[in-house]
Chains A and B, each alone.
Chain A
Amino acid sequence: ELKVEQNPLFLSMQEGKNYTIYCNYSTTSDRLYWYRQDPGKSLESLFVLLSNGAVKQEGRLMASLDTKARLSTLHITAAVHDLSATYFCAVVDPNTGNQFYFGTGTSLTVIP
């Protein structure tokens, strides 16, 4: 079974600082997604990364994918309080097409 691990699990950072969340996965896959979840809510799609070296940016968030290292990163630049949420990466199992496996999640708290 494909395993997806995120690091760190919990992150507390001050506004204005930068930080990176890491997502490692165990089996070759060419599709990786990042989602945001606010407390009590469902998931909001942030990025879709479909190829090695892919980089996507939206506002203060930037995601990248290295399929050879089986690693994706979500970089936060100059954090603001509104970014406080739980972030999940998800990897598609190439053997089952659309089946997603979610990472452990990173709970981010941005302190004013």
Chain B
Amino acid sequence: GAVVSQHPSRVICKSGTSVKIECRSLDFQATTMFWYRQFPKQSLMLMATSNEGSKATYEQGVEKDKFLINHASLTLSTLTVTSAHPEDSSFYICSGGQGLSPLHFGNGTRLTVT
């Protein structure tokens, strides 16, 4: 089946640094990529939606300058957390989809900011 590869699976960084998370669709072309954030024991919160070649659409309350999303090709989307702070520590999940098919989720990235 379709696979979405997300990397890294875990990252620890110091406060003030930036972290890039990659999401690749391995055997399908994801025209749309979604980025989610999940706090412990909570649901997934949609952060932004990106379409290949265009600017991402951010959900209300999500800082576009802090969470930079790039969707340069049909198989790659990146999320960069800039000037990370401890409150940015979370589980980030990407997903890609086509048409009516269910979204295919990456394995998630556990970000810890110290």
Contact = CB atoms under 8 A, between A and B. Distances in A.
Contacts of B32: 98
A50 interface: yes
B97 A48 contact: no
Interface in A50-109: 50, 88, 96, 98-105, 107
B93 A43 contact: yes
Contacts of A105: 42-43
A109 to B, nearest CB: 13
B56 to A, nearest CB: 13
Interface residues of B, number: 22
B67 interface: no
A42 B107 contact: yes
A33 B108 contact: no
B19 interface: no
A25 B107 CA distance: 26
Nearest to B4: A42
Given A41-B108, A43-B105, A50-B100, A107 B93 contact: no
B103 A42 contact: no
A49 B110 CA distance: 30
B43 A103 contact: yes
Interface of A: 31, 33, 35, 40-43, 45, 48, 50, 88, 96, 98-105, 107
9 contacts: A31-B100, A42-B106, A42-B107, A43-B93, A48-B102, A99-B49, A100-B103, A101-B46, A105-B42
